[in-house]
Structure 1
Amino acid sequence: MRALVCVEDVEREARARLDPGVRDFIGGGAGDELTLAANRAALDAVRLAPRVLTGLAGWSTAATLLGQPAAMPLAVAPMAYQKLVHPGGERAMARAARQHGVPYTVSTLSSTPLEEIATVGGDLWFQLYWLRDRGLVLELVRRAEDAGYRALMLTVDVPVMGRRRRDARNGFALPGGVTAANLGGGGTAAHRRRPGASAVADHTRQAFDPALGWPDLDWLREHTTLPLILKGVCDPRDAQRAASRGIEAIVVSNHGGRQLDGAPASAELLPPIADAVNGRCQILLDSGIRTGTDILRAAALGADGVLIGRPLLWGLALQGTQGAAHTLSLLQTELAEALALTGCPTPSAARTLHIHPHPGAPPSPPRTA
């Protein structure tokens, strides 16, 4: 692992070792994968103008997420079926997050029961998909509360699963030893291989309720005291409406390019959403983050933190907890270097930097700190 000096190295090694179907399931996007590519392009286009002569002798990557300290402004994104890449699955990933002092978000579609993951400890959030069975939704909420999870993250951008052509071409289905453990195994749909179709998409069509609306969010608020995070917000009007309902955080996300192909990059959506929210709740950026400098770019654009997904799955695939932890170490090291090189004592200080949207463009004024 020491020879892998960036996330790109980790991904390259993991791709070479994984089954092609699993590799495509992790790395692929929806449609022509335009949004998947746009996420990276948008972040690459953000240029931060360093400050000099600041007299800065030290810096800290630490942050506060949902009122709790974190070693850096980063939480592990919810990712389904982690036993696909390593037998340790979600427990191994949770150990890496705990070791690095960052929150870990457990998916409704985890391949390990949420209670077993909780025994690892650390700062745990539970991601909730809106299911057709309202009783099962409430059951999952209660299980998360009883197991000591600290927040609920409601994913709001999957009324149906985006058409992921790689999975369809592969006829992708879960192997027998990997199940939706929180849903009693998830039935047989996710394991039933069909030519030209994704069995995982078949399962979500059966299980997910596409009619999720604002009244459902109010119902959820009435049935839990846990902080609520909305993941998948792309429009400032929705962000403003969420903030007015007292949501503790929103995640600006296009689901890693895996839902609506042709949607804008998450980084492009962040500044107007930050303006609409105006500090009433925390904002996390998801989709495309691959370096510590990306984390600082997100902060400069108005985010309080980021979610990291695929890079940690690549690390998990290579060496379980150690591989995921190594990936987190790389990101923290790069973030610390970016702080030093831009003259920022903390990630939030990046909001005072001048941002150049692309080479040759006039600089934008700094955001209010």
Structure 2
Amino acid sequence: MAKTIEQLVAGLAGSYEVGEVCRLLDAHLAGGDTAYLAEFGAALNARFGSGRAGAEHRYLFDRILWDVVTRPGRVHVERALGLGLATRSRSGRPVRRAAAVLAEHQRPSALAGVFEAAPDDATAPEELRACLLHELVLRGAPVAKLPEARAWAEASPYWAEHPLAWLPWALDPLEGTPGLPHYWRGGVSYGRPYGLPKGAPLGGRAGVPVEVGEEEPGLTAAVERWARRHNGRVEAAVFDADGPVAPEALPGTLAALPLDCVEDPVVVPTTAAEAWRQLFGAASTGGGGEAGWWYGAYGRLAAWRSLAALAGAGPDASAAEVARRAADCAWYGFTAGGEWFNGDDMDLGFAVLDAGRRRLAVLAATDYDGG
């Protein structure tokens, strides 16, 4: 006689061998029976709990949850949320991670129920919907055409006061195709987009004198976490030059600034799009392991905030206004010949001149191997 789920789970107590159970679960998954997996996961969690479970039990539960959430369809989304997708995770921000996983592996139509859930639904909290909306946008999904998302946004007091509500519901051209992590059963993989942009270094001549600068709000938003790490450093400030700064005068102008990050600088022309790409990577996945990531939605917001400050847009400017100002600016990437940068794969440096080429905004950050 086949064992019941309760009998199988009870038999796992004190056991380090879960191979037979994995084969059983795989057989049910191959037959499309995710209801069995969800019931098994719920029984496993009820018996052992996330805090008391051994490594084998955690592995088994995570495997079940993964197989359910990556099976296309609304019912599988509901089952994954019921298993605690948004409440239990190795990440320090399980809601944000859940939004990213759902957006990567499910069609927008399958996620309609998330936006239809009651405001007090613990399995689909309001914060999950806020993050999910922009995780979908980052993947190019036509969220504005999803009636459930529109209805939720129009009716939700939570969303009305949410910082993510500032972001546009479609990718701006300067955002391009954002680099996003890939989530899979064994974990997550991602790239690091930092470093000196490609291009010919600028030649040098005498720099232009500048007034002592100050840091502006939002300038370091995308690299805020880097500054808090023991081996991370951030420098940022805005300066006013005595006259327009020509490209060939920029290296000398930078070198004379009272910043440690600009010693003997190497400067190349770049674009606002390249700056946004690096800022987004820095904010969403940079500056440490996944346990402390900001993930896509908040990474997008932080990248826009830093971009706005670099371009000289006011704190009340819309995303469209920020993009317009950014298009009028001259963008440069730089690195330095001194020891301020770690020289690893987590260095970024940008210098931005406004439309009049007199306002010079500088942002540099470095960290070592995310550690």
Q: TM-score, normalised by structure 2?
A: 0.22
Q: TM-score, normalised by structure 1?
A: 0.22
- Higher Cα Rg, which structure: 2
